[in-house]
């Protein structure tokens, strides 16, 4: 992602004082990266937009507690990841996630193209797998951090990552083998 | 011939592989190819195109913020007049040189927080079915508590700067949120007659 994520200190100070214009400027600066983190972790763009909205509500409520010690994007990203993981937990309550994945990844599934690129293969993983892969491989979270945020064990995070990569490799191999 | 598993390949990528996996990958062209493919997949994931949201959600965020400010014109997040008065007293009327008093107050709010945690444990929120609205409210409160916990972890022990008054303030905020969270669960428990 080539978007600049640096914001002036004065803008942060104004946002911390509750200035709505400054808060909107922060929203404009970070809406796309927040949306992309959420979109890669979740299955639907609608969910990703909801998470983006929840994230910024939390940012507005909590920005007074931001100490400007790390990068603001790191702080906002943590909130976004936490919100996305919460959404995944809620979605799992509907108990269809794994079935969805299996159905989508099965050979000759309805509406599933024979050829997929990496982005489409990634989209066919379960939300849990996507979250682990994205947080670990792209955002640079450790397995310990992922496990803590998901309320799972480090082994769970590692096995999800291995399983997800095995599936990605399989789907991309299928692509290569397709006529 | 036994090849590296995906666990082995990921461990190699992370620099945490076993001696066997390292020496095997050095000698095996197939596994080196798999490892290269893994690196490429990760690089491609990092390079996926940026997507943009289809709708502008700022008006909804702004509306929610303005509505919250209208409900709490003083901007404090308090759950009862007594707590509000206690916080106001702490923040406004605290005289100089009251480090000891702060320490006592800190111990008190920490104890209050622990009591609320125990109360929440007795309610056993995970074992109950909640309405979507109550679950969303509980989730939002838990998130805010998590933010405060992160801040408390960063500030560290009582002796660390910026001093106990800041910790008291954070712990008090935590207590306020915990009270609201317990309220959400207890109300639900009472409603369903449990």
Of A140, A108, A166, A131, nearest in space to B7 by CA:
A166
pLDDT at position B117? 76
Whose tokens are 């937990």? That residue is: A89
Name which of A67-71, B92-96, B138-142 the model is least confident about: B92-96
Q: Tell me the two tokens of residue B112.
A: 């209050």
DSSP E strand stretches across B60-171: none
Whose tokens are 């406004």? That residue is: B92
Across the interface, do A53 and B60 touch by the CB < 8 Å criterion? Answer: yes
Q: Tell me the two tokens of residue A125.
A: 């993983």
Q: Which of A49, A65, A67 sits opposite B57 (nearest CB)?
A: A49
Q: How far apart are CA A171 and CA A165, in angstroms?
A: 10
- Categorize the per-residue pLDDT at B87 as very low, low, confident or very high, splitting at 50, 70 and 90: very low
Quote ipTM for the complex.
0.82
Across the interface, do A32 and B50 touch by the CB < 8 Å criterion? Answer: yes
- Categorize the per-residue pLDDT at B82 as very low, low, confident or very high, splitting at 50, 70 and 90: very low
Section B163-182 average pLDDT: 83
Query: What are the Cα distances from residue A89, in Å, to A83, A92, A131, A146, A152?
Result: 10, 5, 11, 14, 12
pLDDT at position B124? 58
- Residue B73: list chain A partners with CB under 8 A: none
Using the Cβ of A61 and the Cβ atoms of chain B, whether some distance falls under 8 Å is answered with yes
- Residue B125: list chain A partners with CB under 8 A: none
Using the Cβ of A119 and the Cβ atoms of chain B, whether some distance falls under 8 Å is answered with yes
Using the Cβ of A93 and the Cβ atoms of chain B, whether some distance falls under 8 Å is answered with no
- Residue B49: list chain A partners with CB under 8 A: 119
pLDDT at position A175? 62
- Residue B140: list chain A partners with CB under 8 A: 54, 58
The answer to whether the CB of A48 falls within 8 A of the CB of A123 is no
Q: pLDDT (tens digit, 9 = 90+) per residue, B10-32?
A: 999 999 999 999 999 999 999 99
Choose from A44-48, A107-111, B102-106 the range with maximum mean pLDDT: A44-48
pLDDT at position A49? 97
pLDDT at position A51? 96
- Enumerate residues 6+ apart whose C-beta is below 8 A from B137: B184
Across the interface, do A31 and B45 touch by the CB < 8 Å criterion? Answer: no
- Residue A45: list chain B partners with CB under 8 A: 51, 53-54
Across the interface, do A165 and B44 touch by the CB < 8 Å criterion? Answer: no
- Tell me the nearest-neighbour CA distance from B89 into chain A, angstroms: 20
The answer to whether the CB of A134 falls within 8 A of the CB of A119 is no
The answer to whether the CB of B159 falls within 8 A of the CB of B98 is no
The answer to whether the CB of B99 falls within 8 A of the CB of B164 is yes
Give this prediction's pTM. 0.63
Q: How far apart are CA A99 and CA A122, in angstroms?
A: 16
Q: How far apart are CA A71 and CA A29, in angstroms?
A: 13
């Amino acid at each position: 992602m080539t978007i600049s994520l640096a914001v002036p200190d004065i803008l942060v100070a104004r946002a911390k004082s509750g200035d709505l214009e400054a808060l909107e400027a922060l929203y404009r600066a970070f809406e796309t990266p927040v949306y992309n983190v959420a979109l890669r972790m979740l299955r639907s763009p609608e969910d990703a937009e909801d998470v983006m909205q929840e994230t910024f509500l939390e940012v507005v409520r909590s920005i007074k507690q931001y100490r400007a010690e790390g990068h603001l994007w790191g702080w906002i990203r943590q909130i976004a990841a936490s919100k996305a993981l919460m959404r995944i937990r809620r979605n799992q309550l509907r108990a269809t996630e794994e079935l969805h994945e299996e159905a989508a990844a099965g050979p000759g599934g309805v509406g599933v193209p024979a050829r997929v690129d990496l982005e489409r293969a990634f989209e066919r993983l379960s939300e849990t797998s996507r979250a682990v892969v994205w947080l670990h491989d792209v955002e640079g979270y450790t397995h310990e951090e992922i496990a803590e945020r998901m309320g799972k064990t480090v082994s769970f995070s590692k096995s999800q990552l291995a399983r997800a990569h095995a599936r990605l490799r399989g789907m991309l191999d299928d692509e290569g083998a397709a006529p | 011939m036994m090849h590296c598993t995906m666990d082995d390949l990921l461990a190699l990528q992370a620099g945490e592989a076993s001696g066997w996996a390292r020496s095997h990958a050095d000698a095996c062209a197939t596994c080196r190819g798999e490892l290269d493919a893994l690196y490429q997949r990760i690089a491609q994931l990092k390079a996926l195109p940026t997507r943009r949201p289809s709708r502008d959600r700022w008006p909804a965020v702004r509306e929610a913020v303005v509505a919250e400010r209208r409900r709490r014109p003083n901007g404090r997040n308090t759950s009862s007049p007594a707590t509000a008065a206690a916080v106001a007293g702490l923040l406004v009327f605290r005289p100089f040189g009251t480090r000891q008093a702060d320490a006592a107050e800190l111990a008190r709010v920490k104890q209050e927080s622990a009591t609320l945690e125990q109360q929440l444990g007795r309610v056993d929120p995970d074992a109950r079915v909640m309405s979507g609205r109550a679950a969303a409210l509980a989730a939002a409160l838990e998130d805010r508590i998590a933010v405060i916990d992160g801040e408390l972890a960063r500030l560290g022990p009582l002796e660390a700067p910026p001093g106990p008054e800041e910790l008291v303030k954070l712990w008090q905020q935590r207590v306020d949120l915990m009270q609201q969270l317990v309220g959400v669960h207890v109300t639900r428990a009472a409603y369903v007659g449990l």
